[in-house]
């Protein structure tokens, strides 16, 4: 892999993206796991979307057909859940509803790898989001996913994310200390977030529905992924800086983080912090990747 970095080669405006979401107020259906479902619903609302968690085989196709975005999160996928996610994903494809898939825990067990493979091969996925280990496992690269956590080193994660984008035709968001947003052509490093985000269960799931909510309001999936990933990491920083209240550990940090998301969407972040929105050219770096064919 050859790597050369360059500036942000796109006109990306974070306030414009945030306003697109709040003005669209998109209905977003999440078929997701019961571990973090409430946080996934709440953060959808905090961004300005309308959450619904329809996951019954008899209804989910109808609900997705009237939604503007759809998330499939396989965190606790059951046998029925597998078929329901495919029903929801097919309805998204038939109704041109942007589809985000979070292949939680792919690579940890043969079952998760099989289900994830079905989702990415049988559905038209606009954005795939997972941690470094999950995206590496999906791309067939060396990966260690312990349960749902990514462990190990991933020095080539940008090239792996591009390879995954090439294989799936999706925009790929590989989350970690530095988030990678990749297409079949290139990758962007998004320098945002805070280590406290890694201490809260659900921050990957909430990133997934953030991407679905932004993709529901912004036509270009790459722009939606870059803006959503950046806004999400920014909320993590504002919370860590105490802008939305003092925290004393992961539990109180989680509350401050949710308040920071709402504050970015409703404008109160600007009242609480001198300059809440950074110049994206300083935070997003384009990485040219020469991936071996
Ligand atoms: N050490 C870190 N520094 C900055 N941001 C982080 C860190 N760890 C996690 N994050 C952020 O937390 C969110 C969830 O990422 P991650 O923990 O990789 O997902 P998952 O919970 O699915 O494993 C992402 O937005 C990511 O950028
Ligand atoms: C712990 C756990 N187990 C099955 S789903 C889930 C939540 C995963 O959340 P995240 O991917 O955001 O860490
Ligand atoms: Mg996750």
Tokens at residue 236, please? 């993590």
pLDDT tens-digit series, residues 129-175: 999 999 999 999 888 888 888 888 888 999 999 999 999 999 999 99
Q: Is 35 exposed, middle or buried (0-12, 13-18, 19+ CB in 10 A)?
A: middle
Q: What angle do CA 103, 107, 108 make, to 5 degrees?
A: 100
Quick one: pLDDT at residue 275?
A: 79
Listed residue (127, 117, 67) closest to 92, CA to CA: 67
Of the candidates 116, 94, 85, the residue with the CA atom closest to the CA atom of residue 103: 116
Among protein residues, the one whose CA lies closest to atom 8 of ligand 1: 198
Q: According to the model, what pLDDT value does residue 292 have?
A: 63
Is position 243 within any domain?
yes
Which of 112, 174, 205, 210, when mutated, tests ligand 2's pocket best, judged by the most ligand atoms within 8 Å of its CB? 205
pLDDT of residue 4: 64
69 phi/psi in degrees, rounded to 5: -155, 155
Q: How many other CB atoms sit within 10 Å of the CB of residue 288?
A: 15
Looking from the CA of residue 202, the nearest atom of ligand 2 is 12
Nearest CA to ligand 1 atom 20: 204
Of the candidates 166, 266, 263, 258, which has an alpha carbon nearest to the alpha carbon of residue 209?
258
Domain encompassing residue 68: 14-269
For residue 279, CA distances in Å to 13, 19, 158, 223, 259 come to 9, 17, 22, 16, 22
- 73-77, 92-96, 278-282, range with the lowest pLDDT: 278-282
If we measure between CA atoms, which residue out of 153, 156, 92, 77 comes closest to residue 122? 92
Residue 289 lies in a domain: no
Mean pLDDT of the region 208-227: 98
129 annotated ligand binder? yes
112: in domain: yes
Ligand 2 neighbour 136 (Cβ under 6 A): no
Instruction: Indicate whether residue 207 lines ligand 1 (CB < 6 A).
Output: yes
What CATH number should be reported for the domain holding residue 91? 3.40.1190.20
Structure tokens at 117: 């493979």
Pairing of strands 127-131, 99-102: parallel
Q: Is the pLDDT of residue 32 over 90?
A: yes
**Which value, to the nearest 10 degrees, does the dihedral of the CA atoms of residues 120, 121, 123, 129 take?**
10
Q: Is 150's C-beta closer than 6 angstroms to any atom of ligand 2?
A: no
pLDDT at 276: 73
Q: What is the atom index within ligand 2 of the atom nearest the CA of 102?
A: 11
Q: Which atom of ligand 1 is nearest to the CA of 148?
A: 23
The answer as to whether 3 is a domain residue is no
Q: Does residue 7 carry a pLDDT above 80? A: no
Mean pLDDT over each residue of the chain, to the nearest integer: 94
DSSP-assigned letters across all residues of 65-103? HT-SEEEEE-TT--HHHHHHHHHHHHHHHHTT--EEEE-
Q: Is 76 in the pocket of ligand 2 (CB under 6 A)?
A: yes
For the CA of 207, the nearest ligand = 1
Q: Does a structural domain hold residue 275?
A: no
291 within domain boundaries: no
Whether residue 274 is contained in a domain is answered as no
Name the 3-class secondary structure at 143.
coil
ipTM field: 0.98
Under the banding of pLDDT at 50, 70 and 90, the label for residue 3 is: low
**Rounded to the nearest whole angstrom, what is the distance from the C-alpha of residue 201 to the centroid of ligand 2?**
6
pLDDT of 123 > 60? The answer is yes
CA of 211 to the centre of ligand 1 (A): 14
For residue 73, report the distance from its CA to the centre of ligand 2, in Å: 9
206 lies in a domain? yes
- Mean pLDDT value of segment 92-117: 97
pTM: 0.96
Number of domains in the chain: 1
Question: Does any ligand 1 atom lie closer than 6 A to the CB of residue 232?
Answer: yes
Model pLDDT for residues 162-191, shown as the tens digit of each residue? 999 999 999 999 999 999 999 998 999 999
Residue 204 Cβ contacting ligand 1 at under 6 Å:
yes
In Å, how far from its chain's centre is CA 11? 21
Quickly tell me which residue has 């993590």 as its tokens: 236
């Amino acid at each position: 892999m050859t790597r050369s970095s360059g500036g942000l080669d796109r006109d990306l405006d974070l306030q414009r993206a945030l306003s697109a979401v709040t003005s669209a107020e998109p209905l977003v259906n999440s078929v997701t796991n019961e571990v973090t479902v409430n946080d996934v619903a709440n953060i959808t609302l905090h961004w300005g979307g309308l959450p619904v968690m329809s996951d019954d085989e008899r209804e989910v196709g109808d609900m997705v057909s009237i939604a503007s975005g759809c998330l499939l999160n396989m965190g606790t996928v059951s046998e029925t859940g597998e078929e329901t996610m495919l029903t929801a994903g097919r309805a998204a494809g038939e109704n041109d509803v942007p589809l985000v898939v979070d292949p939680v825990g792919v690579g940890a067990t043969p079952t998760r790898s099989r289900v994830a493979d079905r989702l990415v091969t049988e559905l038209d996925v606009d954005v795939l989001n997972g941690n470094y280990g999950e995206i590496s496992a999906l791309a067939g690269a060396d990966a260690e996913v312990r349960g749902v956590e990514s462990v190990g080193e991933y020095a080539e994660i940008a090239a792996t994310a591009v390879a995954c984008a090439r294989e799936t035709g999706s925009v790929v968001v590989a989350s970690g200390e530095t988030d990678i947003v990749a297409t079949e052509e290139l990758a962007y490093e998004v320098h945002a977030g805070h280590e406290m985000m890694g201490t809260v269960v659900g921050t990957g799931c909430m990133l997934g529905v953030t991407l679905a909510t932004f993709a529901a309001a912004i036509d270009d999936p790459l722009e939606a992924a870059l803006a959503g990933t950046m806004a999400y990491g920014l909320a993590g920083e504002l919370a860590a800086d105490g802008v939305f209240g003092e925290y004393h550990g992961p539990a109180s940090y989680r509350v401050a983080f949710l308040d920071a998301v709402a504050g970015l969407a409703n404008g109160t972040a600007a009242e609480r912090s001198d300059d809440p929105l950074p110049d994206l050219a300083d935070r997003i770096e384009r990485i040219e990747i020469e991936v071996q064919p």
